[in-house]
Amino acid sequence: MLIISSGIAQGIRDYGARDYPNETCGAMLGIDNGEGREIRALFPLANRRDDSPRNRFSITADDFRAAERAAKEQGLEVVGWYHSHPDHPARPSEYDREHAWPWYSYVIVSIASGEPREMTSWQLTDDRSVFQPEEIAWAVPPGSVK
C-alpha cells in the first residue's frame, strides 16, 4: 500500500498540468517499513527525452543520483517515481514495463487536455512479466480530523 497525502498528490497533478502536453517526471521520497510506504516529498526532475517528450520520459543516471542524495539529506529514500500520461489513461505501457524494476512504486497521473484526472500506482512483479496495481491510501491532512 502506498500512502500519499492530498498535498503530495496535488503536487504530482500540478507538475503534470504544468508540463502538459509533455510528460512530467520525478522521484518520490519517503519511508518504507516493509509493510507499507509513505511518500513524504517529491523531487521533480527534468524530462530528458527532448526528441519525444509528449510520449516518453527519461531520468538520467545523474538525476537518479541527485534524487538519492536529496532523499538521504532528508532522512528518506527514493521509494518510487511519478510521471504523467498526457491525453492517455493512467495505465502503464509496455514501454513502462520494459524499463522498470520491482520494488519501486510507479505513480501515473493522466492529464486530459491539460487537466489532471486519474492517478494510479503500479509495481512490477519480480519476474518482470506485468505491472500490478498498488493500492493508494490517501493520508488525512493534519488538522482535518476533529
Alpha-carbon distance of 146 to 143, in angstroms, equals 7
Indicate the burial class of 79 (C-beta count within 10 angstroms; 0-12, 13-18, 19 or more): buried
Measured from the CB of residue 130, what is the shortest distance to other proteins in angstroms?
14
Is 117 among the residues that bind other proteins (CB under 8 A)? no
Cβ atoms within 10 A of the Cβ of 36, count?
Answer: 12
Residues paired with 121 in a beta bridge: 107
Site for other proteins in 24-53 (CB under 8 A): 25, 49, 52
For residues 60 and 74, which CB has a smaller minimum distance to other proteins in the complex? 60
The conformational region for residue 129 under phi > 0 = left, psi -120 to 50 = alpha, else beta, is alpha
Judged by CB under 8 A, the stretch of 6-14, 35-43, 125-133, 136-144 that binds other proteins is 125-133
Is 93 among the residues that bind other proteins (CB under 8 A)? yes
Q: For cell 497521473, what's the residue?
A: 109
Is 65 among the residues that bind other proteins (CB under 8 A)? yes
Measured from the CB of residue 141, what is the shortest distance to other proteins in angstroms?
28
Cβ atoms within 10 A of the Cβ of 95, count?
Answer: 10
Is 57 among the residues that bind other proteins (CB under 8 A)? yes
Contacts with other proteins, residue ranges (CB under 8 A): 23, 25, 49, 52, 55-61, 64-65, 77-78, 81, 83, 85-86, 88, 92-96, 99-104, 106, 126-128
